[in-house]
């Protein structure tokens, strides 16, 4: 295990690292081995109460008095510290989440980049003056909500903390972060670095714990003025219901069943690595995983054969072995994914990757599975699996491609592979998704690119400049001066 330079059993409240109020801890498990490697605090309602009070105090104190430029400088310094520690953070994340080291390093660098981006943006959010009746000057101000709550999942802790906490801090909010109980070590490491960067005490509070305890307490807390939730549809609905009781806005970043649509005129050599990687990256535990590959009939068999060959060369193993695919996060997640694969008729499973020799028996490994021949209505073609499983679905023409692509409850991202510029433009408009990629998938992560869903993929936008609007409140000032 990467040695930690901090005590993982503590919560951070008001600048003080301390045991959870209840004094209890939860185990940390390494998904690559299934073994217990440490402990985290089991924060609860009392810790959330104290964290919200500490955030309110920060807003009334040093943090609330800082100029936007000063806030930006702290975030920029924090980004530099994250970059300097990127390798250590990546090793922690690899072992905590089970993600291959190279992917974990990309996440650490993305976290640094979020701080750099939002550090630079902090003093560039402007209001406007509005022409109005004579005798008036009218202008708008963008102000922080106040205390913001951030509930984060286990699959990309660093990236999701970066995009939500980074934007919230840039706008002058004070944050209470509830990382996922399955993987929260980098959240704690990040908060230590934030202290080193000069973030005033109470500005960022971190309370690890169970969702139904610390998470539910944060979602329902009347002192929280905005909630950012990333996770499952069911919990997202519960968080939104809790927030509604306090009339608090919520950003929901939920799941997906995202399609890549491959037309017969596409450059298949170019497309192939994107088609496969977007399904197996992070062992498919990615909200924006391309779990459906829609292929025009003329090239269906060729794409199937080439993807099958790619799948057969995929190796699954421990995070530190840095193969293409790591373990799933937990025994439960493995059971869920294997349950999904078991729904397929054996004839539908056209290729599988292999679990590497010597992969520890207790690790949560699942061999990636490529499926074909399913009807678009099959559960495997409609439900989010959250594992390394992709389904190929044939289509005849644009009309059918759009109908299948838009035919699930979700709408997170979509990709079009085609050389036809008019078709690219038509489909980009017709696809029901928060992001559409043309001849690529994911655009390299895109800290700068607004991200979020429609339908059951959620609402609100994070990432990019757009997030700064979500993490602030617009005030209109109408001054009558004659
Ligand atoms: P989850 O909903 O079980 O947990 C997410 C977070 O919510 C965790 O911190 C958990 O402790 C907390 N939580 C659980 N119960 C709670 C409750 N009752 N009240 C408040 N908080 C509670 O999700 P998960 O299984 O950890 O993550 C997988 C899901 O997240 C997938 O559906 C995936 O698509 C989605 N996801 C979406 C995005 C996105 O940006 N759209 C990114 C990553 C993951």
Residue 51: predicted pLDDT: 99
Q: Flag whether 315 is in a domain.
A: yes
H or E element in which residue 251 lies: strand 250-253
Q: Flag whether 170 is in a domain.
A: yes
**With a 6 A CB cut-off, is 299 part of the ligand 1 pocket?**
no
- The residue from 116, 287, 384, 398 that is catalytic is 287
Contact 360, 319 (CB under 8 A): no
With the most atoms of ligand 1 within 8 angstroms of its CB, the residue from 235, 336, 463 to mutate is: 235
Residue 445: predicted pLDDT: 83
| Domain boundary pick from 254, 280, 307 | 254
* Mean pLDDT of the chain, nearest integer: 97
| Domain boundary pick from 254, 278, 310 | 254
Residue 264: predicted pLDDT: 98
Question: 284: CA distance to ligand 1 center in Å?
Answer: 15
DSSP symbols for 15-35: TEEE--TT--EEEEEETTTTE
pLDDT band at 444 (very low <50, low <70, confident <90, very high): confident
In the predicted structure, residue 166 carries a pLDDT above the cut 70: yes
- State how far the Cα of 124 lies from the Cα of 361, in Å rounded to an integer: 52
The CA R_g of the chain, rounded to the nearest whole Å, is 23
**With a 6 A CB cut-off, is 350 part of the ligand 1 pocket?**
no
225-268 tens-digit pLDDT: 999 999 999 999 999 999 999 999 999 999 999 999 999 999 99
Do 206 and 302 share a domain, yes or no?
A: no
Q: What angle separates helix 68-84 from helix 185-197, to the nearest 10 degrees?
A: 130
Residues 6 or more apart whose Cβ sits within 8 Å of residue 434: 411, 412, 413, 450, 451, 452, 453, 454, 457, 461
DSSP symbols for 444-458: GG-TTS-B--SGGGE
- State how far the Cα of 405 lies from the Cα of 178, in Å rounded to an integer: 34
Do 221 and 277 share a domain, yes or no?
A: no
Question: 152: CA distance to ligand 1 center in Å?
Answer: 6
pLDDT band at 1 (very low <50, low <70, confident <90, very high): low
263-309 tens-digit pLDDT: 999 999 999 999 999 999 999 999 999 999 999 999 999 999 999 99
Contact 98, 79 (CB under 8 A): no
Do 294 and 338 share a domain, yes or no?
A: yes
Q: Flag whether 317 is in a domain.
A: yes
**With a 6 A CB cut-off, is 216 part of the ligand 1 pocket?**
yes
Contact 56, 73 (CB under 8 A): no
- State how far the Cα of 99 lies from the Cα of 105, in Å rounded to an integer: 10
In degrees and rounded to multiples of 5, residue 196 shows phi and psi of -60, -35
- Residue 442 sits in a domain whose CATH number is 3.40.309.10
**With a 6 A CB cut-off, is 51 part of the ligand 1 pocket?**
no
CB-CB neighbours of 132 under 10 Å? 13
Lowest mean pLDDT among 48-62, 193-207, 441-455: 441-455
In the predicted structure, residue 417 carries a pLDDT above the cut 80: yes
Handedness of CA 467, 75, 115, 14 (dihedral sign): negative
pLDDT band at 2 (very low <50, low <70, confident <90, very high): low
**With a 6 A CB cut-off, is 154 part of the ligand 1 pocket?**
yes
Neighbouring-strand partners of residue 174: 147
Question: 278: CA distance to ligand 1 center in Å?
Answer: 20
Domain count, the chain: 2
Question: 140: CA distance to ligand 1 center in Å?
Answer: 35
H or E element in which residue 225 lies: none
**With a 6 A CB cut-off, is 448 part of the ligand 1 pocket?**
no
In degrees and rounded to multiples of 5, residue 250 shows phi and psi of -130, 135
Do 30 and 160 share a domain, yes or no?
A: yes
Do 407 and 441 share a domain, yes or no?
A: yes
Do 351 and 243 share a domain, yes or no?
A: no
Nearest CA to ligand 1 atom 40: 253
Catalytic site includes residue 462: no
Residue 3: predicted pLDDT: 79
Catalytic site includes residue 324: no
Do 123 and 245 share a domain, yes or no?
A: yes
Residues 6 or more apart whose Cβ sits within 8 Å of residue 331: 34, 364
Residues 6 or more apart whose Cβ sits within 8 Å of residue 217: 44, 45, 48, 49
**With a 6 A CB cut-off, is 235 part of the ligand 1 pocket?**
yes
Q: How far is CA 355 from CA 87, 203, 348, 367, in A?
A: 26, 44, 20, 6
**With a 6 A CB cut-off, is 213 part of the ligand 1 pocket?**
no
Q: Flag whether 451 is in a domain.
A: no
Question: 127: CA distance to ligand 1 center in Å?
Answer: 34
Q: Flag whether 329 is in a domain.
A: yes
CB-CB neighbours of 328 under 10 Å? 28
Nearest CA to ligand 1 atom 13: 211
Mean pLDDT computed over 208-218:
98
Tracing tokens 């100029």 back to the chain, one arrives at: 67
User: Whole domain around residue 229: which residue ranges?
Assistant: 11-254
Question: 146: CA distance to ligand 1 center in Å?
Answer: 23
- Residue 166 sits in a domain whose CATH number is 3.40.605.10
178-201 tens-digit pLDDT: 999 999 999 999 999 999 999 999
- State how far the Cα of 164 lies from the Cα of 79, in Å rounded to an integer: 14
Mean pLDDT computed over 449-474:
98
Do 284 and 147 share a domain, yes or no?
A: no
Parallel, antiparallel, or unpaired for β 435-438 and 389-395? unpaired
Q: Flag whether 285 is in a domain.
A: yes
Do 45 and 178 share a domain, yes or no?
A: yes
| Domain boundary pick from 254, 270, 293 | 254
Of all residues in the chain, the percent with pLDDT exceeding 70 is 100
Do 339 and 245 share a domain, yes or no?
A: no
Q: Flag whether 457 is in a domain.
A: no
Do 214 and 360 share a domain, yes or no?
A: no
Ligand 1 atom nearest to CA at 457: 41
Do 226 and 334 share a domain, yes or no?
A: no
Mean pLDDT computed over 321-348:
97
CB-CB neighbours of 235 under 10 Å? 20
Q: How far is CA 143 from CA 52, 57, 129, in A?
A: 19, 17, 16
Nearest CA to ligand 1 atom 15: 211
With the most atoms of ligand 1 within 8 angstroms of its CB, the residue from 26, 153, 218, 284 to mutate is: 153
**With a 6 A CB cut-off, is 332 part of the ligand 1 pocket?**
no
**With a 6 A CB cut-off, is 107 part of the ligand 1 pocket?**
no
Q: Flag whether 220 is in a domain.
A: yes
Residues 6 or more apart whose Cβ sits within 8 Å of residue 355: 315, 316, 317, 365, 367
Q: What angle separates helix 68-84 from helix 86-97, to the nearest 10 degrees?
A: 70
Q: Residue 35, class by beta-carbon neighbours within 10 Å (0-12 exposed, 13-18 middle, 19+ buried)?
A: middle
In the predicted structure, residue 104 carries a pLDDT above the cut 90: yes
Tracing tokens 């509930």 back to the chain, one arrives at: 151
DSSP symbols for 108-151: HHHHHHHHHHHHHHTT-----EE--STTEEEEEEEEE-SEEEEE
- The residue from 10, 93, 116, 253 that is catalytic is 253
Mean pLDDT computed over 402-410:
98
Nearest CA to ligand 1 atom 39: 253
**With a 6 A CB cut-off, is 368 part of the ligand 1 pocket?**
no
């Amino acid at each position: 295990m990467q040695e930690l330079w901090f005590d993982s059993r503590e919560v951070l409240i008001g600048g003080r690292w301390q045991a959870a109020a209840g004094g209890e801890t939860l185990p940390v498990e390494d998904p690559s081995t299934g073994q217990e490697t440490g402990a985290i605090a089991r924060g609860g309602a009392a810790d959330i109460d104290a964290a919200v009070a500490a955030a309110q105090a920060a807003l009334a104190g040093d943090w609330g008095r800082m100029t936007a430029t000063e806030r930006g400088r702290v975030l920029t310094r924090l980004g530099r510290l994250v970059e300097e520690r990127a390798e250590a953070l990546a090793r922690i994340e690899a072992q905590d989440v089970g993600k291959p080291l190279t992917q974990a390093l990309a996440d650490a660098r993305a976290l640094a980049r979020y701080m750099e981006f939002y550090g630079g943006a902090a003093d560039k959010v402007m209001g406007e003056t509005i022409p109005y009746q004579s005798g008036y000057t009218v202008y708008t101000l963008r102000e922080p909500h106040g205390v913001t709550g951030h509930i984060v999942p286990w699959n990309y802790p660093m990236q999701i903390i970066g995009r939500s906490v980074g934007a919230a801090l840039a706008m002058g909010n004070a944050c209470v972060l509830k990382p996922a109980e399955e993987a929260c070590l980098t959240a704690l490491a990040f908060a230590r670095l934030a202290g080193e960067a000069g973030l005033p005490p109470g500005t960022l509070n971190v309370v690890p714990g169970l969702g139904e305890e610390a998470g539910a307490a944060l979602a329902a807390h009347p002192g929280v003025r905005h909630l950012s939730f990333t996770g499952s549809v069911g919990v997202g609905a519960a968080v939104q219901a809790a927030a509604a009781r306090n009339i608090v806005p919520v950003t929901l970043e939920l799941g997906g069943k995202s399609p890549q649509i491959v037309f017969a005129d596409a450059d298949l050599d170019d497309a192939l690595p994107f088609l496969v990687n977007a399904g197996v990256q992070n062992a498919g535990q990615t909200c924006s995983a391309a779990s459906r590959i829609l292929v025009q009939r003329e090239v269906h068999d060729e794409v199937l054969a080439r993807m099958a060959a790619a799948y057969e060369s995929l190796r699954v193993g421990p995070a530190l072995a840095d193969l293409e695919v790591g373990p799933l996060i937990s025994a439960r997640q493995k059971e869920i994914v294997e349950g999904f694969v078991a729904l397929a008729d054996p004839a539908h499973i056209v290729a599988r990757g292999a679990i590497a020799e010597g992969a520890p028996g207790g690790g949560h490994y699942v061999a990636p599975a490529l499926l074909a021949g399913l009807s678009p209505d099959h559960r495997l073609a409609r439900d989010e699996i959250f594992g390394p499983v992709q389904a190929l679905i044939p289509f005849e023409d644009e009309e059918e491609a759009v109908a299948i692509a838009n035919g699930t409850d979700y709408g997170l991202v979509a990709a079009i592979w085609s050389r036809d510029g008019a078709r690219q433009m038509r489909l980009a408009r017709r696809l029901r998704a928060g992001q559409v990629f043309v001849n690529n998938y994911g655009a390299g992560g895109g800290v700068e690119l607004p991200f979020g869903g429609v339908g059951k993929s959620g609402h609100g936008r994070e990432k990019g400049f757009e997030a700064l609007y979500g993490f602030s409140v617009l005030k209109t000032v109408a001054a009558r001066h004659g």
